C-alpha cells in the first residue's frame, strides 16, 4: 500500500511567494511558498485514471505544508492578513484514523456508511492516501449496506415479521 501511494506522481505548479502568519509555528509575517499540487493516479505508469489538484502554502520557518482554500494564483495577489485567513493547518492524523476506520468498519450496517461519509468529507480537500482509502471505505460500505438491506427486505417480504436478526 505505502509503496503504491508514495509512487503517486506529485507535481507542484505555479509556485509564488506569499507572506502570512503561520498557524503551525505561529511566526508572524513569515515568508511562504504557495503552490498548486497536481496528483495523478496512472494505470500501468501511463494512462491517467484519476487526478486531482489542491492548493498549499509551505512555511519557510517550520517547513509545514498548510492547506490553502484558493489557488496560488489567487494567493499571489492577497495581503498577508488575507492569506492567513485562507490557509489552515493540515491535520493528517484524524483523517488517517477516519480513513482506516471507514474501511475497517465498512461492513457495519449504518455505522459503516456514516463513517465512510465523514471520512470522505474530512479528507476530500486533502492530498495523499487517506482520501483514496476513505473513498474505498465509502464504496465498500455502500455496497455492503445495499446488499444487507436488500436481504432484510427479501426476508421481510417472504417471512413477514420473522426477520433473521430477530431470531
Q: Per-residue string for binding with Zn ion, 5-24, x by CB under 5 A?
A: -----------------x-x
**Shortest distance in whole angstroms from residue 66 CB to Zn ion:** 8
Of residues 50 through 69, those in contact with Zn ion by CB under 5 A are 59, 61-62
User: What distance in Å separates the CA atoms of residue 133 and residue 120, rounded to the nearest whole number?
Assistant: 9
**Number of residues in contact with Zn ion under rule CB under 5 A:** 6
**Shortest distance in whole angstroms from residue 64 CB to Zn ion:** 5
Candidates 77, 58, 60; CA nearest to 68 is 58
CA distances for 77 relative to 16, 68, 83, 124, 148, angstroms? 10, 14, 9, 26, 52
Give the nearer residue to Zn ion in terms of CB position, either 59 or 120: 59
**Shortest distance in whole angstroms from residue 78 CB to Zn ion:** 18
Dihedral sign (CA 140, 43, 40, 100): positive
Of residues 22 through 51, those in contact with Zn ion by CB under 5 A are 22, 24-25
Q: Per-residue string for binding with Zn ion, 111-140, x by CB under 5 A?
A: ------------------------------
**Residue 1 class from Cβ within 10 Å (0-12 exposed, 13-18 middle, 19+ buried)?**
exposed
Looking at residue 120, the DSSP 8-state letter turns out to be H
Give the nearer residue to Zn ion in terms of CB position, either 62 or 153: 62
Name the site residues for Zn ion (rule: CB under 5 A).
22, 24-25, 59, 61-62
Amino acid at each position: 500500500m505505502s509503496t503504491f501511494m508514495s509512487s503517486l506522481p506529485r507535481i507542484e505548479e505555479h509556485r509564488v511567494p506569499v507572506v502570512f502568519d503561520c498557524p503551525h509555528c505561529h511566526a508572524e509575517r513569515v515568508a511562504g511558498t504557495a503552490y498548486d499540487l497536481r496528483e495523478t493516479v496512472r494505470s500501468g505508469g501511463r494512462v491517467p485514471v484519476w487526478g486531482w489538484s489542491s492548493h498549499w502554502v509551505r512555511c519557510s520557518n517550520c517547513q509545514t505544508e498548510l492547506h490553502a482554500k484558493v489557488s496560488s494564483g489567487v494567493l499571489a495577489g492577497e495581503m498577508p492578513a488575507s492569506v492567513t485567513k485562507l490557509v489552515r493547518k493540515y491535520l493528517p492524523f484524524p483523517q488517517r484514523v477516519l480513513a482506516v476506520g471507514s474501511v475497517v468498519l465498512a461492513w457495519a450496517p449504518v455505522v459503516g456508511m456514516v463513517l465512510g461519509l465523514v471520512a470522505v468529507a474530512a479528507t476530500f480537500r486533502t492530498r495523499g492516501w487517506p482520501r483514496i482509502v476513505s473513498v474505498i471505505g465509502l464504496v465498500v460500505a455502500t455496497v455492503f449496506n445495499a446488499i444487507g438491506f436488500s436481504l432484510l427486505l427479501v426476508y421481510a417480504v417472504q417471512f413477514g415479521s420473522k426477520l433473521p436478526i430477530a431470531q
